[in-house]
Chains A and B, each alone.
Chain A
Amino acid sequence: MIEKIKKIFSEILEVKIDEINNEFGPDDTEMWDSMNNLRLITAIEEEFNVRFSMNEIEEMLNFGMVLNTLNKHLK
């Protein structure tokens, strides 16, 4: 699962997969802007067939948090 999310991140944000760790966030790349944030969310929702709430999205401030929130949905 982690590999799938990393792949989505690397494609949308144009970063190398090994650059993505749990602390990886919007400050690490200017590609992580509001539009690409929407794209990330949509792509993850699609890939794992989940729907994040607005509250959850507001909390997802770095890669690790995205992972945690997704894990809650997949449990």
Chain B
Amino acid sequence: MDNKVVIEQIKACDQFSEIGSLLTSLDRKRLTSQNIISLSRALRLYQDPGHVNIAYLANFTVDLLPPYVEAFAATEGLLARSYVGKYNQYFQEVLSEESGLSGFEPDLIFLTLSLLTLEPELKSSFLQLSVEDKNARIERIVQHFQQWVSAVKQRYSTTVLISNFPLPAFSQLGIADANDPFGEMAFYFELNKRLAAALNSESRAHVFDLAKLSARFGSDNVFDPKMHYMAKLAWGEKFLPLLADEMLRHLLSLKGLTRKCLVLDLDNTLWGGVLGEEGPSGVKVGPGDPVSEAYHDFQCKIKNLKDRGVMLAVCSKNNESDVREMFAQRSAMPLGLDDFAALKINWEHKHLNIERIAKELNIGLDSLVFIDDNPVECELVRQMLPQVRTYLVPGNPENIPRFVDEMIEFEKLMILADDRNKTRQYQQERKREELKGTVGDLSDYLQSLETELEIRVATQHDLNRVQQLFAKTNQFNVTTKRYSMAEVERFHAGDGWELGVAAARDKFGDLGIIGLYLLHLVGSLVEIDSFILSCRAMGRGIETAMMNHIKLQHAEAASFTARYFPTSKNMPVKNFFPEQGFEVVEKNAEQVVYSLDMKENKMLDCTWINVV
């Protein structure tokens, strides 16, 4: 649908919350300046509370940018509110209690300064500056920003974004600049480097990389001299979409909307051609011909995403054995099977496989991006799983590498060492699955895992994970009670409650805390309030070891009761209590109540687990 038509429909709606599906049909890359004006005006009329309040402070006219950011944010379902600070009053705005900023309650403050306004001498007499002068000047500018950040921190707990400085299109030294170790370009590089280092030590201040964006757009085009002289605009209007795109990446990261997993089709997505027809040596990827090189570069970019902490998964209609053969034979490809946290290679519907991937990785559907070259597959996934972000791969191979760069879904402000290990955890899970396939007998398999289990009363340190298990576990969850952190802390404090956690490791690696139980103790009566096992730890008897532990700890209890509340998702635990020796006391549609006869209390066998 045409953007203009969509915007007209948006205008007809009274509330932002009503326009979700309309927003997703906007094509962000094709919004014209007219579209931006009418969309941002429509958005400003909504009474809904904004999702993010952005303040813009500058020493030039920045007013044309906020409508772009508002429109771009809306395409991702975010209602952004803007405040533009008074011209060149970025200190007063943050210091004064009477400032407009103060009444605005910003979530994000964006400070962007033109260097030549801040330090006019750099324009008129750069060539007269000595090396010491230049260093001192850089120091002074960086300190100026540090002082401003301190001023912000006195009154606000918001995130601040500070733009660095784009290189000028021409140097005052002419071609000599490149031969001068501290020429004008070198000065900008050094300034940006020191600014980044200074902000790096601040937890809530980050660099907005204007220098990169300006280079990408072309420094000849960033600046419109007429607009600069007439209205003190530092940026021409054509540059604004790029700025808004970068701002949107920051906003998604700020709001925790970063997605976690990229699900890839294989044929004509990860390589050119169809594996089933052309065979492992026939499909196009790698050096040699233009199309193969494009797919090679695409794979490099995907691998970079993985190193940034994005999990990769395959969802392909293929024979799994063919695909394994392909990866074995074409081992020079940038991506190997080891790079994928989940593989779904079969002939079933893709939306079913994508759901399985989400389940296997224990992440929500709204954490997934799916890409495929087949418009029919894309449309089906879009309809069946609207939470998944689905993209059609560009039709021309030359555009595929760039397509990865343009995805805004995976942005993070920092890449931690932990991010690089994320895939490993899931690979361990895959190795377990593979072992299951090779070991004929289930008990041999369980034995071969060499599982060690530690069951203990939860410590303060465990509570975040405990709350996460309460909040996220759907399947192995007998009562599905969603407790808040405050409640979890109350259980931890004791007083009639026993909160236990189970941590497991096996020969493939550490699974971390994968289970919990919560007992309500009234005198010598024990009631199992909650019993939860993470789905990645199911099917290996850990639940039995945990229950044995509870039985042993409370062998003196006068009575033992438990409840099962059926939900659409917790079928796996339907027979859990009977299997553990409990008997039905009462049964209706809402619940089944069980009790355990203490005289008949027996430990069940699970010798393959070593409880430590």
Q: Show the binding face of A for B, using Cβ within 8 Å.
A: 8, 11-12, 14, 34-35, 38-39, 42-43, 46, 51-54, 57
Contact = CB atoms under 8 A, between A and B. Distances in A.
A55 to B, nearest CB: 10
A43 B230 contact: no
Does more than half of chain B's interface fall in helix, strand or loop, or is it mixed? helix
A32 B226 CA distance: 19
B231 A34 contact: yes
Interface stretch (B33-41, B145-153, B321-329, B493-501): B33-41
B237 A11 contact: no
Interface string B323-341: 0000000000000000000
B64 interface: yes
Contacts of B230: 38, 54, 57
Nearest to B225: A54
B543 to A, nearest CB: 64
15 contacts: A11-B37, A11-B38, A12-B34, A12-B37, A34-B231, A38-B230, A38-B231, A39-B33, A43-B33, A43-B34, A46-B33, A53-B226, A54-B226, A54-B229, A54-B230
B70 to A, nearest CB: 14
Contacts of B33: 39, 42-43, 46
Given A42-B237, A54-B226, A57-B230, A35 B37 contact: no
Contacts of A12: 34, 37
B301 to A, nearest CB: 33
B269 to A, nearest CB: 37
A11 B226 CA distance: 23
B366 interface: no
B227 interface: yes
Contacts of B229: 54
Contacts of B38: 11
Interface in B37-59: 37-38, 41
A1 to B, nearest CB: 17
A57 B225 CA distance: 14
A61 to B, nearest CB: 14
B355 interface: no
A8 to B, nearest CB: 8
Nearest to A33: B63
A48 to B, nearest CB: 15
Given A11-B37, A11-B38, A38-B231, 13 more contacts: A8-B34, A34-B231, A35-B64, A38-B230, A38-B233, A39-B33, A39-B37, A42-B33, A43-B33, A52-B226, A53-B226, A54-B230, A57-B226
Contacts of A8: 34
Contacts of A14: 41
A59 to B, nearest CB: 13
A33 B330 CA distance: 63
Contacts of B34: 8, 11-12, 43
A47 B227 CA distance: 18
A23 to B, nearest CB: 24
Interface in B47-99: 63-64
B40 to A, nearest CB: 12
**A-B CB proximity, top 10 nearest:** A42-B237, A35-B63, A54-B226, A38-B231, A11-B34, A54-B230, A54-B229, A12-B37, A34-B231, A38-B227
A12 B229 CA distance: 22
Contacts of B227: 38
A5 to B, nearest CB: 13
A35 B38 CA distance: 15
A14 B237 CA distance: 20
A7 B230 CA distance: 25
Nearest to A12: B37
Contacts of B41: 14
A39 B213 CA distance: 23
A7 to B, nearest CB: 10
B32 to A, nearest CB: 9
